[in-house]
Structure 1
Amino acid sequence: MFLKYIKELSVKKLLKSTLKHANSNTFSTPIKTVGLLIDESYFQQKEQLKQLIIQNGIKENNIKIIVFKDKIKKNDAYQELTFSNKNMNWKGVLKKDFINDFINTPFDMLISYYDVEKAPLLIITHNSRANFKVGISKIDTRLNNLMINTTVENYTVFTEELFKYLKILKKI
């Protein structure tokens, strides 16, 4: 348990040092593809969130979901691609191919749907090749282009606000 805590602190320190040199990119294309990064430790309504995104004009086959869980049981089957802290080494390198594929996919928008800073989630958000990154305002503001002030439980408020701003920006 103590080593897990030290590992988390070590990776966060590495990430924060790279964030000092982060530059915010601008996006000019309409939103068609969406990456959805969810912390299922605190939020289990991922299917409802996905349906709200679809109702706002994003096609279902253009949404790719990856889920973080604190503990993964070996015999359990998961609907979505699922990972945990065990899939990251002490230097913040993620070991699973599907995680690196998700990071390297050039989404039009990445939705980082978590409100507790956990090293693997921060690493994925930071390293993602998404053109536009959206998250909840409790997370480090340097990671995302748009921050929505709500909690994870209020996914309807989150999607309403997100698509309101995307319409204002003429991205939908």
Structure 2
Amino acid sequence: MILKGFKEKSNKKYLNKLLLERQLEVTDSDVESLGVILNLDEIDDFEMFNSLANTLKVKSNKLKIIAFSQSKKEDLKTWDNCYNPKDFGWRGAIKNPELEGFLNTKFDVLVSYYDTDILELKLITAKSKAKFKIGILQSDERVNDLIIKTNLKEFDLFKTETFKYLKILNKI
């Protein structure tokens, strides 16, 4: 139990280091790839992100969705790309090669669609090599480049606001 606390403190320190070192890339390039991080304990409908990709004119092969859950993997047989706290080690180390591959993908836009303040979710978002990060209101505003203040259940509003702001930023 004590080691779990030390591990969490180590990961928080690593997260703060990542957020302090982050450089925002400002480009006018169009959105061609989209990554989505969601909390499976809060929302399990990934089809709505296909509609977001269609709205942003992102091809289905350029859309990658991963989920995180506090539950054990044996309980999550219906979801292929689902990760849990056991996939994370000390100092932000990722133990799962598929998750590492997602994090190393240079998405044009990364959507962090979760509301709960979970350290591992923030680590995934901060560690991602995405060019532009969009999320809903969270406790740590440094994680995302654009924060759209909506509720998890208001996905249509999130989708229209995302489209509107990406249009303003000349990314669509």
Q: Same fold (TM over 0.5)?
A: yes
- Tell me if 1:104 matches 2:104: yes
Q: What is the correspondence of 1:48-127 to structure 2 with a 5 Å cutoff?
A: 48-74=48-74, 76-127=76-127
Structure 2 residue ranges without an equivalent (≥5): none
Runs of 4+ in 1 over 4 A off after TM superposition: 1-6
How far the C-alpha of 1:75 sits from its partner, in A, is 6.4
Secondary structure of the structure 2 residue equivalent to 1:64: strand
Secondary structure of the structure 2 residue equivalent to 1:24: coil
For 1:19 and 1:140, locate their aligned partners in 2 and report how far apart those are by CA, in whole Å: 10
How far the C-alpha of 1:70 sits from its partner, in A, is 0.8
1:25-77 Cα distance to aligned partner (Å, 9 max, x none): 21321001001111111112222232233244222221001110111342652
Larger deviation, residues 97-106 vs 119-128: 119-128
1:98-157 Cα distance to aligned partner (Å, 9 max, x none): 000000011111111112221221111111111111111224222211110112221111
Aligned length: 172
For 2:40 and 2:113, locate their aligned partners in 1 and report how far apart those are by CA, in whole Å: 9
TM-score (norm 2): 0.88
Q: Is the 8 A contact 1:35 1:111 kept in 2?
A: yes
Q: What is the correspondence of 1:41-52 to structure 2 with a 5 Å cutoff?
A: 41-52=41-52
Larger deviation, residues 129-138 vs 12-21: 12-21
- Paired letter, 2:54: I
Partner of 2:22: 22
- Paired letter, 2:98: F
- Paired letter, 2:28: S
- Paired letter, 1:59: K
Q: Is the 8 A contact 1:49 1:155 kept in 2?
A: no
Q: Is the 8 A contact 1:106 1:129 kept in 2?
A: yes
TM-aligned CA distance change 1:169 to 1:75, over 3 Å: closer
Q: Is the 8 A contact 1:88 1:120 kept in 2?
A: yes
Larger deviation, residues 6-15 vs 113-122: 6-15
- Paired letter, 2:109: M
> C-alpha root-mean-square deviation of aligned residues, in Å?
2.0
TM-aligned CA distance change 1:168 to 1:97, over 3 Å: same
- Paired letter, 1:18: L
